[in-house]
Amino acid sequence: MSSLKDKIDFGRLPQHVAVIMDGNGRWAKEQGKMRIFGHQNGVAAVRAVSEACAELGVKYLTLYAFSTENWNRSKIEVDALMKLLSKTIAEEVKTLNDNNIRLNAIGDLTRLPKYNYDALMKAIEDTKNNDRMTLTLCLSYSGRWEITHAVRSLAEKVLSGELKLEQIDENCFSNFLNTKDMPDPELLIRTSGEERISNFLLWQLAYSEFYFTDKFWPDFNKEDLYEAIVNYQNR
Ligand code: FPP
């Protein structure tokens, strides 16, 4: 069977792909199921896309898993998502290590329940020496939160005299962001037909190409990822 993978130019791969995984709730609703059923099935898509990116040679994959705004969802959904996240993270550590993938997380992680935070930190520690690809989960994350947080840290350094006003430029500022060790994403993918940035990597997406698909996240598979990359390479 032919695959869109054959159309990918490996000399022009994006180094960093970012994804807004959207549509889990609508996917579940279509089947008359609870929203969490959609999130549970979204895990398979996370696995498929992580595997596909690592196989291709993408160095950074960043997933919007839980936004600052998501805290406003029903307690039942938030609790279920937190449990699903920590369960999945713990279950996937072996696969991450077998595939030489480093796990990373950005966002206001102090807001996560302790059991979730602990599972995350353990998985990050257990995969820290892997260097094939960095998989970053954005948890309790929003671009405005990140920028505000960066401004505070930067202002502190100015107040303490460690940093001079004249030293602040784009490069200096980006070193205060959670993504300081990563290149900016060349490609942003959003599923489910929505075409908004929704407070995702506001600073980092300044020059990225955006790719939208009507597919809901649980239906997104490896071929869809290849299609997004081929589309990006044809621009
Ligand atoms: C958006 O769909 C999806 C989320 C808010 C959660 C994403 C979580 C997963 C895919 C589960 C596992 C993730 C990892 C990283 C292990 P939505 O709920 O906004 O859907 P809707 O727009 O149709 O309501």
In this prediction the pTM is 0.97
Is residue 137 lining ligand 1, measured as CB closer than 6 Å? yes
Known catalytic residue: 22? yes
Which pLDDT tens digit goes with each residue over 204-228?
Answer: 999 999 999 999 999 999 999 999 9
The string of pLDDT tens digits covering residues 119-143 is 999 999 999 999 999 999 999 999 9
Question: Does 84 contact ligand 1 (Cβ within 6 A)?
Answer: yes
pLDDT at 1: 77
Distance CA 105, CA 103 (A): 7
> In whole angstroms, what is the distance from residue 210 CA to residue 206 CA?
11
Q: What is the mean pLDDT of the chain?
A: 97
Atom of ligand 1 nearest to the CA of 70: 5
Q: Return d(Cα 39, Cα 52) in angstroms, integer.
A: 20
Q: Is 221 labeled as catalytic in the residue annotation? A: no
What mean pLDDT is predicted for residues 148-166? 97
